[in-house]
Structure 1
Amino acid sequence: MKKIIFLLFLTTLGYSQNTNREYFTHSWKGYRLELKTTDGTYFIQFFNDKIAETSFVPNGEKFNSQSHAVVLKTNNHPFKIEENADFIEMKTNELGIKIIKSPFQIIYSHQDKTILSEKLGYFKRKHEPLEKVKGNIVYDSTEVIQFNINSTEKLYGGGARVLGMNRRGNRLALYNRADYGYETRSELMNFTIPIVISSQKYMVHFDNAPIGYLDLDSKKENVLEYETISGRKTYQVIVGNTWEDLIHNYTELTGKQPLPPRWALGNFSSRFGYHSETEARKTIQKFKEENIPVDAIILDLYWFGKEVQGTMGNLEVYRDSFPTFEKMVDDFNKMGIKTIPITEPFILTTSKKWQEAVDKKILATDSIGNPFTYDFYFGNTGIIDIFRIDGKKWFWNIYKELANKGVGGVWGDLGEPEVFPAAARTFGGTADEVHNIYGHNWAKLVFEGYQNNFPTQRPFILMRSGYSGSQRYGMIPWSGDVNRTWGGLSGQVEISLQMGLQGLAYMHSDLGGFAGANLDDELYVRWLQYGVFNPIFRPHAQSDVASEPIFRSDWAKNLAKKAIELRYSMLPYNYSLAYENSQTGIPLMRPLFFEEPDNEALLTKADGYLWGKDFLVFPIMEANQTTKEIYFPKNSNWTDIYSTKKYNGGSTEKINVATAHIPTFVRNGVLIPYTKVVQTTQNYEHSNLDLHLYFDEKVTSSERQFYFDEGDNSKENNPELLTCETEIEKKSLFISMESNLFPSKGKKGMIHIFLLSKKPKSVLIDGIKVKFQYDKIAKKLTFDYVMTSNKSNIKIKL
């Protein structure tokens, strides 16, 4: 029987592990297995029943326990053990790890089904650089961890790239680097994250910072490889029973994204860049004159210098262009407009702060301790050593001073870092050892600075580069310098969906595109219409062509305004998605396979997506497109929010495309909250709440929960959760609204019920009949409601 079981294992896994690696002995150190082999020691432990960690320490090396990504504690999670002469097995209710002693093999299973196994495990080999990084990853040899994988599974992860949703077949560099003007394919971008996600609902996270590669079966041998120049040979295997469960487990391991300030969900005024205080004030005034909502203005590098080159690192207000900076910020704050200035980690040798940086020893150094300097586009420069305590303190004091001037957030640009020669040294290691975690630690110092000095303010931290777990520092990532073309737009859904799977749920793009002087109003409008259903709505571009709708043609401006107004009306729904993400890790933008995890066709689909649970969105990504093929997930029926045409779940329809909006559908049978459009979120009152319901007699019950608070206080003591339920019973539709607050803050507004084929007999709110309007042609019922206590019940007799 043992021989039969062993042969079955070999059939399933294909290959045994490194033939030179033999089992010697093992012992249990509390809840951790320590297993000695001929060439090193394995340390294996569970974090919980769905997360396990394996580390290999070669002979002659010491175990490095420092992780830059993991925050979850192991807590000595219990598991079952089975040992005999042939194998050792560690097993929770969900995740199993089996070590075959001879020939040596480590096998991982989820609910007794094998998911992957170490093939050669850890070994060293000659470095074969990818063409993309030949000048960046320059080493004779690398260290590799190799696995067997299933022949049919799709693979996601590796950070932000444009490769197609299934990234299997690619060897990917792990070296954060900007890709200026990218379009339909980008193999290397600002976020390279050492994580692989399988369509079989498991993840492997390689918990090591130095640069390297991920090989997602590029040789078509059913092999997954992690390759690095140095560091920890540690990885975590994470499993989930659903996609939501899997991402929740990963963000339990690496940290949840804090709830951002509510204004961050509004519209941004942004470009490269506003040259003066006068220009910034006139821009915000024009938004107000045009009645286009806006919540923030971003100041690019002209706030600290007149020229693009030669001034980086000044990091103090350039009074010639911004003479009353503090008053401008204060005036904007009174209008509900947050000011967000750009910062970079480079101090040019021509900067006003160069000598201060040298004297205070806050810069990365060369091998003998002198400031390491080099040339790049902006000038001759050094880079702040954010891994050194003095460097962190110095940099934070810049932000502290800006915060004291009233600015509302932080923009960290060029944090890959843009140029970071391998010869540079930091307190945290060589440039290549810390390159990929530079942006991560930069966000950390800002986040922790706010926690210490401004504990009631939720930080807004816009960053172009990060690492595994950067979401826990409130990082808001964006997809870099995308070309201002249809090709540039085409990959943006993929980037956001992939990054959401990897924990960074606020990935978004420069709406309208960044690079180039392409004036294409149709492209601009389509990009902004797509942006309505993005975590962040931020048009931004080089100044050759305006990024702000107020400076576009009347046609484009009017359509952009409609898109922005829809964005603001959805604030209760969107803010609730942000809250849900902060609690569960579930992204705001979700692949369609969240709805149908067993639908093979959806595993590679990125032309449409779910916005939260209840909106189905299909952006228009081609010029002059008149029709669009839409797949409607089968678990619900869906209704076009503009035409109120109903579509059956599980069907594929070719629909006509409208100029005024992109195809957008809502799930039938659930309540969707809206609010009145305001000029800024400062004017938003969450007591005003309209509810929309697309009636479907097949949906006999539903429940949704919506979150409300004061919007910008991380010490919020009295947040509100409003539970909204529907039920159809005995020819009546029941709607209940219940607040967790007593007394509640109350709600009032209008309820809109669509697709109601006949006029109802009556509408009762808390037992009292109320007036209602029924449009026979539109098949729509509307009535006002006022919720004065913590609970209200509505009965509609059909």
Structure 2
Amino acid sequence: MQRYFQWLVCSALLFASLLLGAAEHYQSHRVNDNQLILTTDRGQVSLRFQHDAVVEVWYQPEGRQQLPSLILADKTPAVALTLQQQPEQLILQSARLRVEIQKSPLALRFYQGEQLLTEDIAGLLQPDTTKIAFKFRLTPEEMLFGGGQRVLGMDRRGHKLPLYNKAHYGYSTESNQMYFSLAGVMSSKNYMLLFDNGASGELDLGHSQADTLAFQAEGGRSAYIVVAGQNTPELIANYTAASGQAPLPARWTLGNYASRFGYRTEAEARAVVQKFRELNLPLDAIVIDLYWFGKDIQGHMGNLAWDTQAFPEPEHMLADFAADGIKTILVTEPFVLTSSKRWQQAVDAGAIALGPDGKPNTFDFYFGNTGLIDVFKPEASSWFWGIYRDLLAQGVGGIWGDLGEPEVHPADTQHQLPGMGSVTANEVHNAYGQRWAELVYQGYRQDFPEQRPFIMMRAGNLGSQRYGMVPWTGDVERSWGGLKPQVELALQMGLFGFGYIHSDLGGFAGGEQFDAELYIRWLQYGVFQPVYRPHAQEHIAPEPVFHSDEVIDTLRPWLNLRYQLLPYNYTLAYQHSQTGIPLMRPLFFLDEQNSQLRQETNSYLWGEAFLVAPVTEPGVTEWPVNVPTGVWFDFFNGERIIGGEVVKRPVTLETIPVLVKAGSFIPMTAPIQRTADYSSQALTLHYYADTSVSSAKGQMFEDDGVTPDSLAKGQYELLSFNAEHSNEKLLFSLQRQGGDYQGKPAQRELTLVVHNQRGKPDKIYVDGQFIPLVAQPQRFAKGQQLAWYDKAAKKVYLKLTWQAELSQIVIK
């Protein structure tokens, strides 16, 4: 009866739309591979399954220009479909998703099993000759996440969101419009609704009408995508399977970066690297901002060539850094100033976007009078990539694309799309950053196939993750207010496939004096953030090496911890590349029915094992942590904590709350100075035992850290860890699977650390061999196996040589 009533309401609304001349009516249909194609009185509507839980609905009215898909990857996997034909409707069904199509007036409803996920209540609306719109029904209880970078709280229901990538310089605790908007939502009802459109627009999430989600755009593609899943991780996996997985980054991406606005000379860049080495603080990359191509902020953008007065020997510098394990990342922008050395070259190459008069469109902004590179135009892309190709050939290690919203994008700008002619700036504004990342990614793959791309970008679109985009949260205020929203921003973006979203650690904009406490808190949080990159305006140094001994000594163990966790963190990167699951995860992943956890914006999960709660207020001695149900352990002191409530944890300046879930495996290695020195030949495997967890599993992924497509080539190893509590025994199974790769240990000197061992074990066996307990740790001779018990810490230590493909450990 309820379903029938909902259908009547939908039909009434559609009838009202018909009176306004907006309704569409079925005429005929045909099936073509994965799609059902409807012919209507207004044109064509196709329903294409990109996955058995992902369907694209594309309205193609006669006379309206359609742009290429931004979201869906360029592939069409086979999906088994069934079609039922009834007098009043068609029912199209895959193994996971059902679409009920009312013929007249045309209406679509989407089901997962018997659950109605969402319904298209009006079809394609065309308010005028340029705009397109859709409307969907919302149920009273559902929460909505998404819309991209906003500081609004986790549930965005009730907000109206502009869809126009736009810089928000110096933001802090509130922002409705930022650098990276996303035209889509994820619902607590376990579906995603995504609008495959890169135009300027608006997303109304029940703001104007409480029960209606409305989308509107200034042209673009009139298509949307519905994704279904049984839970949030499955939703993300289904979405990224259809839109493209993020490629596995090079291992160095997870290291520490030196970065500021900006290093003005080669001597200064060299001195910064040397300072890290002298102080024995790990470092893997240096980011060089716009002074590499000009001595001033204004007047030089677009030169995109070394200023040889400031950087007299750039190739030698790049080579020296590379020999020291340092990757050099250069900033680039899509603007070519008319005063730059390349202006005429860019014009002659047809690289500059045109104005309505057919000439290169020029305009003024902060950096000078400029044109914008038309990244959509093949000739412009080829010209732009040629510059990147030369820089990468010199030894540049990564590309940074800044101002890619684009920051200034006059509405009268004309872009040239292959086979389509001119489109306006507003039709492709939000697609610009994605197309920019795509041209760099494709260039890497073509000309540098042995390198994993590094592409840091400030703006993009749904689907940009497949081009290896590493986004960040923009020019955040250097204040406690700027630190507070960083978890929310990262969690929201991570739900939509952007696993490497990160902040300028320490804050970027403003700040009159150095706040040591704020700086320390931000960099402590950064250890459990995908990319560890302190970055700021130069009047306050963003690098820890330029601060007091007290600051350095406080942060040193945190930086070391970042590197010790490389086996764990790199495994998170591997998991993200396979399933789309983000490195930073909302707490509600552990309990999706808990609305309080769905609203949480401070505490979060770092992978499966860690719960992290950054301290975002000054002068505190305790900090609230929203601890999900279950048993947890304090990572630093081992205290056992019962979850299910908000717990206040004591903190000092040296600590933030970091908890570990019972049943977790955490692989770690010794501290190193650069990821080039990484080896898991000596591996420490921590297991957090508790009788509340009867069985547990974990994994560790490893390859050489640099080879593209290492999985496809079989050049990797996957270590699997399993634990079972049985009859007062703890049983471990350790397994090695995979192929060969450069640096693969033939065997590992493994230290297994079992936490929360409440008594001294009676017996320990490794592959059936009895291992006696010694009174205290001894020097470990190669090949020797020994164990000891730390009564005060409640830990068992077992050292062994792990060589076999499968090893069994028994602790009684």
1:330-349 matched pairs, under 5 angstroms: 330-349=319-338
Tell me, in whole angstroms, the C-alpha distance in 1 between the residues paired with 2:342 and 2:302: 6
Give, as a single letter, the amino acid of the residue that structure 2 aligns with 1:480. Answer: G
Matches within 5 A, 1:301-320: 301-320=290-309
Which of 238, 241, 248 is the equivalent residue of 1:252?
241
Secondary structure of 1:772's match?
strand
Residues 549-583 of structure 1, C-alpha deviations (whole Å, 9 max, x = no match): 01122222222222111111100000000000001
8 Å Cα contact 2:51-2:241 kept in structure 1: no
Asked if residue 749 in structure 1 is aligned to residue 744 in structure 2, the reply is no
For residues 89-131 of structure 1, what are the alpha-carbon distances to aligned partners after superposition, in whole Å with 9 as ceiling and x for unaligned? 22223212112345553211111111221222322337xxxxx
Measure the CA separation in 2 of the matches of 1:225 and 1:707: 43
Report the more deviating stretch, 508-517 or 549-558. 549-558
| Alpha-carbon separation, structure 2, partners of 1:771 and 1:13 | 74
* Alpha-carbon offset, residue 36 of structure 1: 4.1
Match of 1:87 in 2: 89
Residues 93 and 111 in structure 1, CA contact (< 8 A), matched pair in contact too: no
Shift, 1:282, TM fit: 0.9
Matched, 1:215 2:189: no
Whether the 8 Å contact between 1:115 and 1:149 is mirrored in structure 2 is no
What are the superposed Cα offsets for residues 498-551 of structure 1, whole Å, 9 maximum, x if unpaired? 001111111100000000034211111111111111110100000010100011
1:780 lines up with 2:795 in the alignment: yes
Letter in 1 for 2:765: L
Residue 47 of structure 2 corresponds to: 44
Match of 1:417 among 391, 395, 406: 406
Question: 1:141 Cα deviation (Å)?
Answer: 6.5
Q: Deviations over 1:585-621 (max 9, x none)?
A: 1110111111101112111111111101111111111
Q: Superposition pairs for residues 125-524 of structure 1, below 5 Å? A: 125=127, 142-428=131-417, 429-518=423-512, 519-524=514-519
CA separation of 1:61 and 1:378: change in aligned 2, threshold 3 A: closer
DSSP-derived class of the 1:607 partner: coil
After superposition, give the CA deviation of every residue in 1:51-110 in whole Å (9 maximum; x if it has no partner). Answer: 112122234446x47212211644452323333223222222321211234555321111
Q: Is the 8 A contact 2:478 2:511 kept in 1?
A: yes
Residue matched to 2:779? none
1:8, CA displacement in angstroms?
5.0
Contact 2:622/2:651 (CA < 8 Å) preserved in 1? Answer: yes
* Residue from 556, 569, 574 that aligns with 1:574: 569
Q: Please give the alpha-carbon distance, in whole angstroms, between the structure 2 residues aligned to 1:105 and 1:354.
A: 52
Q: What is the aligned counterpart of 1:725 among 722, 725, 749?
A: 722
Between the aligned partners of 2:185 and 2:642, the Cα distance in structure 1 is 35
Matched, 1:588 2:573: no
Q: How does 1:547-558 map to 2 (within 5 A)?
A: 547-558=542-553
| Structural RMSD (CA) | 1.9
Residue aligned with 1:484, SS = coil
Question: Counterpart of 1:403 in 2: which secondary structure?
Answer: helix
Find the residue that maps to 1:774 and give its secondary structure. Answer: strand
Structure 1 residues 60 and 296, CA gap change in structure 2 (3 angstroms): closer
Q: Which one-letter code corresponds to 1:669 in the other structure? A: G
Match of 2:777? none
**Per-residue deviation, residues 401-434 of structure 1 (Å, max 9, x unmatched):** 1111111111111111111111111212222222
Q: In the alignment, what sits opposite 2:781?
A: none
Residue identity in the other structure for 1:33: L
Distance 2:26 2:339 in 1: 60
Structure 1 match to 2:774: none
Letter paired with 1:265 = L
Match of 2:634 in 1: 640
| Cα pair 1:763 1:771 within 8 Å, conserved | no
| Equivalent in the alignment of 1:631 | 626
1:658 aligns with 2:652: yes
Matched, 1:53 2:56: yes
Indicate how the Cα distance of structure 1 residues 302 and 742 shifts in structure 2: closer, same or farther if over 3 A, else same. closer
What's the counterpart of residue 131 of structure 1?
Answer: none
Q: Percent identity?
A: 43
CA distance in 1: counterparts of 2:362 and 2:149, whole angstroms: 29
Could you give the per-residue CA deviations for residues 153-188 of structure 1, whole angstroms, max 9, x where no partner exists?
111111111111011111111111110000111111
Deviations 1:639-660, CA, capped at 9 Å, x for gaps: 0001100112324322212221
Structure 2 CA distance for aligned equivalents of residues 291 and 4 of structure 1:
67
The structural deviation recorded for 1:462 is 0.7
Offset at residue 233 of structure 1 (A) = 1.4
1:449-497, CA deviations, whole angstroms, 9 ceiling, x for partnerless residues? 1111110110111111111111111110000000001111111111100
Distance in 2 (alpha carbons) for counterparts of 1:65 and 1:299: 36
- The 1:4–1:760 alpha-carbon spacing in structure 2 relative to 1, beyond 3 Å, is closer
Indicate if the aligned counterparts of 1:26 and 1:33 stay in contact, CA closer than 8 A: no
Judged with a 3 Å threshold, the aligned counterparts in structure 2 of structure 1 residues 196 and 741 are, in CA distance, closer, same or farther, namely: closer
Counterpart amino acid of residue 757 in structure 2: L
What letter is aligned with 1:19?
L
Distance change >3 Å, CA 781–CA 84, structure 1 → 2: same
Structure 1 CA distance, aligned partners of 2:2 and 2:515?
Answer: 66
Whether contact under 8 Å (2:67, 2:220) holds in the other structure is: no
Contact 1:722 / 1:738 at 8 angstroms: preserved in 2?
A: yes
Pairing 1:796–2:785 present: no
Written as runs of structure 1 = structure 2, the 5 A alignment for 1:107-126 is 107-125=109-127
Structure 2 distance, partners of 1:693, 1:54, is 47
Q: Residues 30, 459 of structure 1: CA spacing in aligned structure 2 closer, same or farther, 3 A cutoff?
A: closer
Aligned partners of 2:683 and 2:751 also within 8 Å: yes
Q: Deviations over 1:305-334 (max 9, x none)?
A: 111100111111111111111111111111
Aligned equivalents of 2:357, 2:14: Cα separation in 1: 47
* TM-score under structure 2 length normalisation: 0.93
Name whichever of 538-547 and 366-375 sits farther off: 366-375
Distance, in Å, in 1 between the alignment partners of 2:747 and 2:428 is 51
Q: What is the CA deviation profile of residues 683-705 of structure 1, one whole-angstrom value per residue up to 9, with x for unaligned ones?
A: 11122210111221222221111
Answer whether contact 1:34 1:41 (CA < 8 A) is retained.
Answer: yes
Q: How many matched pairs?
A: 780
Shift of 1:350: 0.9
| 2:775 match | none
Judge conservation of contact 2:206–2:213 (CA < 8 Å) in 1.
Answer: yes
Shift of the 104–457 alpha-carbon distance from structure 1 to 2, 3 Å rule, reads closer
Q: Which residue does the alignment assign to 2:768?
A: 767
> CA–CA distance in 1 between the matches of 2:444 and 2:64?
38
SS in structure 2 at match of 1:558: helix
1:602 aligns with 2:604: no
How far residue 680 of structure 1 moved from its aligned partner, in angstroms, is 0.5
Counterpart-to-counterpart distance in 1, 2:10 and 2:768 = 63
Which stretch has the larger CA shift, 236-245 or 108-117? 108-117
Gaps of 5+ in 1: 127-139
> What is aligned with 2:707?
713
Question: 1 CA distance for matches of 2:529 and 2:24?
Answer: 51
SS in 1 for 2:181: coil
**Cα contact 1:720–1:740 (8 A) shared by 2:** yes
- Structure 2 letter corresponding to 1:55: W
